Copies of this chain bind each other. A is one copy, B any other.
Amino acid sequence: MAELTYRAAIASAITQEMDRDPLVVLIGEDIGAAGGVFKLTEGLLDRFGPERVRDTPISEQAIVGAVMGAAMTGLRPIGELMFSDFFAVAWDMVANQIAKTRYMTDGQIALPLVLRTANGGGLRFGAQHSQSVENWAMAIPGLKVVAPSNPADMHGLLAAAIRDPDPVIVCEHKALFAVKGDLPDGEHVVPLGQAAIVREGADCTIVALAAMVPRAAEAAERLAADHGIDAEVIDLRTLIPLDAAAILASVAKTSRLFTVEENPRVGGWGAEIVALVADEGFYSLDAPLVRITTPHIPLPSAAVLEDLAIPTTDRIVETIVRRLDEAK
């Protein structure tokens, strides 16, 4: 067991996989000599050399397109998009090309590739550098989507994404970079598609992702301590493939569902989880299904406003107490 940051877990996973497989290569803006603007790829150029760790021009369409072309011809490339907001610039490559090509060619073309990106808010970077875009990717058939909430998962899920034979979008949450945690010794890989039960509980289910997981977990502790509410907290970890079974099993037990999401309210992943439970888990429910989200607005940059926008531990606690109370 070694302690490391979520930030360091990224380079450690890439190192683990590049050591293991010479076909793994990495490209992106300022990732080589500079080690990345968030210092996520520090040391990789020195260790693996410029053939495997390549700086690119500011050309996101070319970065993502090149990753696709390399993946279909034998490499296992990783592309970095510096901020997840920049997915918009390359969205055709992601949503129309990468996601659809295996299906359109009836399986002739395989795309074992990873697109990593700094996702999420909390750093006062404003509306164009703070988005949570995991719901954009989730809505496109043909993409797998990963969003780890802690260092060990960051390492393990990124490793799994690199080994995965399909395209995987890895959302690395900017607000978690400095968070520390333990990494198990030896090769660490966390399979895609398995949610983690962060806390067991009997009274309600809270489903969260990425930076919302520690907040949901803290909220659960406060709900127990201050309100006698015993909440179960699920960290989805991957949106696609989705661990629907874990959610349905939890709601079968608790009868009540809350989702906590950072993306804007309308069309977020929370709606998909709610819709799933409202169909397949309907008969175990005994209260409204509640989404706790950022409002449906662009993210503001001022600290007080950004903090108001994104769900906080306080808001999670307050909402759950109020909504369970109303439902009595």
Contact = CB atoms under 8 A, between A and B. Distances in A.
Contact of A272 (B126, B136, B267, B287): B267
Interface stretch (A1-9, A183-191, A196-204, A276-284): A276-284
A138 B136 CA distance: 11
Interface string A289-301: 1110001111010
A53 B105 CA distance: 39
Contacts of A264: 139-141
A82 interface: no
Contacts of A136: 136, 139
Interface in A247-304: 263-264, 266-272, 274-275, 277-280, 282-283, 285, 287-291, 295-298, 300
A91 interface: yes
Interface in A119-167: 126-128, 135-136, 138-142
A240 interface: yes
Interface centre among A89, A100, A127, A298 (most CB of B within 10 A): A298
A171 interface: no
Contacts of A56: none
Contact of A138 (B86, B92, B267): B267
Interface centre among A128, A135, A290 (most CB of B within 10 A): A128
Nearest to A127: B100
A225 interface: no
B297 A141 contact: yes
A71 interface: no
A270 B278 CA distance: 12
Nearest to A129: B96
Given A91-B88, A279-B288, A139 B141 contact: no
A245 interface: no
A103 interface: yes
A30 interface: no
Contacts of A274: 271, 274-275, 278-279
B92 A298 contact: no
Given A103-B298, A141-B298, A279-B290, A96 B267 contact: no
A58 interface: no
Interface centre among A94, A95, A275, A280 (most CB of B within 10 A): A275
Nearest to A142: B298
Contacts of A128: 96, 100, 104
A99 interface: yes
Contact of A278 (B89, B267, B275): B275
Given A138-B267, A271-B272, 15 more contacts: A87-B91, A88-B95, A135-B139, A139-B264, A139-B266, A141-B295, A270-B275, A271-B271, A271-B275, A274-B274, A274-B278, A275-B291, A279-B289, A279-B290, A282-B287
Closest 8 CB pairs of A and B: A139-B267, A91-B91, A282-B288, A88-B92, A271-B271, A271-B275, A278-B278, A274-B275
27 contacts: A85-B96, A86-B92, A88-B92, A88-B94, A88-B96, A91-B92, A96-B127, A100-B298, A104-B298, A135-B139, A136-B136, A136-B139, A138-B267, A141-B264, A141-B295, A142-B298, A267-B267, A267-B271, A270-B275, A271-B274, A274-B275, A274-B278, A278-B289, A279-B290, A279-B291, A282-B287, A283-B288
